[in-house]
């Protein structure tokens, strides 16, 4: 791809929604109200695993002010199977035969006030038969394990087990003969690693308002990463045409993949249908932790072998991922991504999707990759040390590059892993001296990045300003990036473009905001729609100049006559826009895009930690990220994504974890006890934005939101090894864990 000179792309304008957000005027999920609105609340199970014997809602329904009650049996029965298993989804929304985790929804009520709704929940009588909970991987796969779903059989296992199991799926990736090749290796490292259940930690809880009318028209206002996903799933659940449901996405206070599914919306719709009034539902923070999808707890066994010249020859791994109460962990993505940074001739990866009595997991920023990469990059670091090689040099010697083929089959075009590693090695951070008690670690990471379906329209206004309309909620500044791309094509400043996130009736279909796909895929649709505008403007100029459209050029927001003639002078967008009415009417550009390629992304991170040997407290004192963005449309927001992913990964490495008691009750369902890092815990995260253009995007864009969370777990763990001489294989490396390890090693002094 030849290097293009950009006028607006790569600049840093103030984001279009910034003023509303910093002044509090932006409307989020819980801000919406409708006349006559009821309040919806959910009764949740106090048990992790129990059979439901009966549910009596009669007293709740009779309470003055209660207008509707719904239980699992009220929702339509859905068949199992499909890309989104609606059978499982309905039972996650409301339990039926059994409750399967602490916080599992059992019933919902709608009342005239929140206090009445809460009082009604107390009146619902549920009788249970308590069952033994399955709270970890060992218990889940034990021969005498309690079975969560009696009908479940393991997919991908040959032969398929005859009886019920908690193992939902087995996957395998194989290249060459790893087992035989280990005998030819001079250095082999084999270890087991674990990571805990962690939550995305978005600041805004789930919230929605639903209104259903007598003619089956339904309005849903909600905080979501995918309004069209909400529309499609609710339509299937209710047996409605999608045209009967309008979803309006609110501003969203974080999602990180966790808001790519639904919990409240079907309940609010059903309560509205029963009551005939709008219903509003907002989760509390404990409900978010207990009943929405966290990331999987995992166990990974990894073995890597290399020859003394520093070449990796073989690698194997066994990945066990908790799915929670229903199948669907990201074990496949974890298996596909863990060794992808390196050219390994012989490899075998097995992955298992395993059920436990915890909330069904949801996506969390590069879902599956941070956990498996924690294992592989820790082992990579150990091999480099055994060979006496610089950890960056060892990675450079084995790094994939253009023409390499990933273990999962993709042949890479231009990619920037080598550039990321080289930029870190040249950075002042890598050569900076370390103080006593400090250590430095490096790790690499990979993410596929999404493509999927997008559409966009661009409306030219009569004064030469424009409106960009897309259907992708803005989580990380995508309004600004879409506006900048439209500005580049139209040749007008991005401040004269108004980017809008529209509802499902106003814009064509868009897949959700996730997988780092919006700037790449929806951005391509915006570019094409803007080019459609330019084509129409050239046609209008040709009509004014009485010439063929081929005689009209376009540069820097102006139509240019390519041949001299009377009255033929360059015309700006604004000048042409003022003549729309007499040259053919309104100008609207439209485009749809089904992205066939993606922009695989690589990153390398450098972490310095300091360990307090008296308390076990670990502090990250310096951190640098380097990531290939392809092309940074708005560099500030790219840097923010890199910093944000690093911070979340640091929290995952050092403190974050769900803690359950022996009965399966979550002990830390709030930010006071679920320890996320805050600004005072962290240094300023330095960023290096590498730009190796992605050939699948007109400007070379790669997604940046996912890859940044993949390396930190391993980078911090490798730094901990450098600081303490201890290889930490179980996360989090919290003060009690570190202190115990130091005491065992006799290294506190």
Distance CA 326, CA 259 (A): 17
Judge whether 177 lies within some domain: no
pLDDT of residue 110: 99
Confirm if 649 and 713 have CB atoms less than 8 A apart.
yes
List the structure tokens of 298.
Answer: 């995992």
pLDDT of residue 81: 80
- Residue-wise pLDDT for 285-319, tens only, equals 999 999 999 999 999 999 999 999 999 999 999 99
pLDDT of residue 1: 46
- Residue-wise pLDDT for 407-418, tens only, equals 999 999 999 999
pLDDT of residue 705: 95
Domain co-membership, 443 together with 500:
no
Domain co-membership, 383 together with 434:
yes
**Average of per-residue pLDDT across 527-547:** 97
Domain co-membership, 327 together with 407:
yes
For the chain, percent of residues with pLDDT exceeding 70: 99
**Average of per-residue pLDDT across 230-239:** 94
Confirm if 600 and 369 have CB atoms less than 8 A apart.
no
pLDDT of residue 7: 96
List the structure tokens of 219.
Answer: 């309005």
- Residue-wise pLDDT for 127-152, tens only, equals 999 999 999 999 999 999 999 999 99
What is the rounded average pLDDT for all residues in the chain?
96
Distance CA 608, CA 606 (A): 7
Domain co-membership, 471 together with 587:
yes
For the chain, percent of residues with pLDDT exceeding 90: 94
Reported as type and span, the H/E element at residue 69 is strand 66-71
C-alpha distances (whole Å) from 191 to each of 303, 373, 378, 633, 715 are 7, 13, 9, 41, 17
Judge whether 249 lies within some domain: yes
Beta-carbon contacts of residue 13 (< 8 Å; ≥ 6 apart): 480, 483, 484, 493, 494, 495, 634
Judge whether 57 lies within some domain: yes
- Residue-wise pLDDT for 149-165, tens only, equals 999 999 998 877 778 99
Evaluated on CA atoms 76, 81, 86, 91, the torsion sign reads: positive
- Show which of 560, 595, 630 is a domain's final residue: 595
Distance CA 248, CA 218 (A): 11
Domain co-membership, 666 together with 695:
yes
Range of the domain at 373: 298-449+598-745
DSSP string computed for 313-328 = EEEEEEEEEEEESSS-
Is pLDDT above 70 for 2?
no
Exposure string of 144-175, with b = 16+ CB inside 10 Å and e = fewer, is: ebeebbeebebebeeeeeeeebbbbbbbebeb
Domain co-membership, 306 together with 424:
yes
Distance CA 424, CA 626 (A): 7
Distance CA 292, CA 72 (A): 18
Domain co-membership, 283 together with 233:
yes
Is pLDDT above 80 for 330?
yes
Judge whether 186 lies within some domain: no
Is pLDDT above 80 for 280?
yes
- Show which of 572, 595, 618 is a domain's final residue: 595
Domain co-membership, 317 together with 416:
yes
- Residue-wise pLDDT for 358-374, tens only, equals 999 999 999 999 999 99
- Residue-wise pLDDT for 167-187, tens only, equals 999 999 999 999 999 999 999
Domain co-membership, 493 together with 548:
yes
**Average of per-residue pLDDT across 538-543:** 96
Domain co-membership, 540 together with 616:
no
Judge whether 502 lies within some domain: yes
Q: What is the CATH number of the domain that holds 537?
A: 3.30.365.10
- Show which of 595, 629, 651 is a domain's final residue: 595
Query: Residue 747's pLDDT band (boundaries 50, 70, 90)?
Result: low
Judge whether 59 lies within some domain: yes
Number of domains in the chain: 3
Q: What is the DSSP letter of 518?
A: I
**Average of per-residue pLDDT across 424-437:** 97
List the structure tokens of 501.
Answer: 């996130």
Is pLDDT above 90 for 596?
no
pLDDT of residue 642: 98
Is pLDDT above 60 for 637?
yes
**Average of per-residue pLDDT across 703-716:** 97
Domain co-membership, 429 together with 479:
no
Judge whether 199 lies within some domain: no
Judge whether 172 lies within some domain: no
Query: Residue 598's pLDDT band (boundaries 50, 70, 90)?
Result: confident
Helices and strands, number each (H, E), in the chain: 21, 26
**Average of per-residue pLDDT across 3-11:** 92
**Average of per-residue pLDDT across 532-539:** 98
Q: What is the CATH number of the domain that holds 278?
A: 3.90.1170.50
Query: Residue 467's pLDDT band (boundaries 50, 70, 90)?
Result: very high
Domain co-membership, 333 together with 443:
yes
């Amino acid at each position: 791809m030849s290097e293009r000179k950009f006028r607006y792309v790569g600049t840093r304008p103030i984001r279009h929604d910034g003023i509303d957000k910093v002044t509090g005027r932006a409307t989020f999920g819980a801000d919406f109200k409708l006349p006559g609105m009821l309040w919806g609340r959910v009764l949740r199970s106090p048990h992790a695993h129990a059979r439901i014997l009966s549910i009596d809602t009669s007293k709740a329904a009779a309470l003055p002010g209660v207008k509707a009650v719904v239980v699992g049996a009220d929702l339509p029965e859905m068949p199992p199977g499909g890309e989104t298993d609606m059978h499982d989804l309905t039972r996650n929304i409301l339990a039926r035969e059994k409750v399967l985790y602490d916080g599992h929804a059992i019933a919902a009520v709608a009342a005239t006030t929140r206090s009445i709704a809460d009082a009604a929940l107390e009146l619902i009588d549920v009788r249970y038969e308590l069952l033994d909970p399955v709270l970890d991987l060992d218990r889940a796969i034990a021969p005498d394990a309690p079975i969560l779903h009696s009908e479940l059989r393991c997919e991908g296992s040959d032969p398929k087990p005859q009886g019920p199991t908690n193992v939902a799926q087995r996957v395998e990736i194989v290249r060459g003969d790893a087992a035989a090749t280990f005998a030819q290796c001079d250095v082999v490292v084999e270890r087991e690693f674990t990571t805990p259940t962690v939550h995305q930690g978005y600041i805004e809880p789930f919230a929605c308002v639903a209104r259903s009318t007598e003619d089956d028209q339904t309005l849903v206002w909600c905080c979501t990463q995918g309004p069209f996903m909400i529309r499609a799933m609710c339509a299937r659940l209710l047996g409605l045409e999608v045209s009967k449901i309008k979803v309006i996405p609110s501003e969203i206070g974080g999602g990180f993949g966790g808001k790519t599914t639904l919990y409240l919306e079907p309940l609010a719709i059903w309560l509205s249908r029963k009551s005939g009034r709008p219903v509003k539902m907002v989760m509390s923070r404990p409900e978010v932790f207990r009943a929405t999808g966290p990331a999987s707890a995992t166990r990974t066994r990894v073995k890597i072998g290399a020859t003394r010249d520093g070449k990796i020859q073989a690698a194997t791994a066994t990945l066990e991922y908790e799915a929670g109460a229903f199948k669907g962990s990201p074990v496949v993505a974890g298996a596909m991504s863990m060794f992808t940074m390196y050219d390994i001739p012989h490899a075998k990866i097995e992955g298992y999707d395993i059920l436990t009595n915890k909330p069904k997991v949801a996506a969390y920023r590069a879902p599956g990759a941070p956990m498996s990469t924690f294992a592989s990059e820790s082992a990579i670091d150990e091999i480099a040390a055994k060979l006496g090689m610089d950890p960056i040099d060892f990675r450079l010697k084995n790094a994939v590059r253009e023409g390499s083929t990933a273990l999962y089959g993709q042949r890479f075009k231009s990619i920037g892993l080598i550039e990321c590693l080289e930029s870190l090695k040249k950075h002042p951070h890598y050569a900076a001296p370390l103080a006593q008690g400090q250590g430095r670690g490096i790790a690499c990471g990979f993410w596929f990045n999404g493509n999927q379906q997008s559409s966009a329209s661009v409306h030219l206004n009569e004064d030469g300003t424009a409106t960009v309309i897309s259907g992708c909620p803005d989580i990380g500044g995508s309004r600004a990036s879409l506006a900048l791309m439209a500005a580049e094509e139209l040749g007008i400043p991005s401040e004269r473009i108004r980017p809008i996130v529209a509802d499902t009736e106003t814009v064509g279909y868009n897949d959700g905001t996730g997988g780092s796909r919006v700037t790449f895929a929806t951005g391509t649709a915006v570019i094409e729609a803007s080019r459609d505008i330019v084509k129409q403007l050239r046609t209008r100029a040709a009509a004014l100049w009485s010439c063929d459209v081929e005689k009209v050029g376009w540069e820097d927001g102006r139509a240019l006559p390519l041949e001299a003639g009377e009255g033929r002078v360059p015309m700006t967008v604004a000048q042409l826009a003022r003549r729309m009415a007499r040259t053919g009417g309104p100008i609207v550009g439209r485009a749809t895009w089904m992205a066939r390629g993606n922009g695989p992304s690589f990153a390398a991170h450098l972490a310095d930690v300091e360990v307090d040997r008296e308390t076990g407290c670990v502090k990250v004192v310096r951190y640098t990220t380097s990531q290939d963005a392809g092309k940074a449309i708005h560099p500030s927001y790219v840097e923010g994504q890199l910093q944000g992913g690093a911070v979340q990964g640091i929290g995952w490495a050092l403190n974050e974890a769900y803690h359950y008691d022996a009965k399966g009750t979550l002990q830390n369902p709030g930010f006071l006890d679920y320890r996320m890092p805050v600004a005072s815990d962290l240094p300023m995260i330095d960023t290096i934005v590498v730009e190796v253009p992605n050939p699948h995007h007109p400007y070379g864009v790669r997604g940046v939101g996912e890859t940044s969370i993949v390396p930190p777990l391993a980078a911090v763990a490798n730094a901990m090894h450098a600081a303490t001489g201890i290889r930490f294989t179980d996360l989090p490396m919290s003060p009690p864990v570190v202190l115990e390890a130091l005491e065992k090693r006799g290294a506190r002094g």
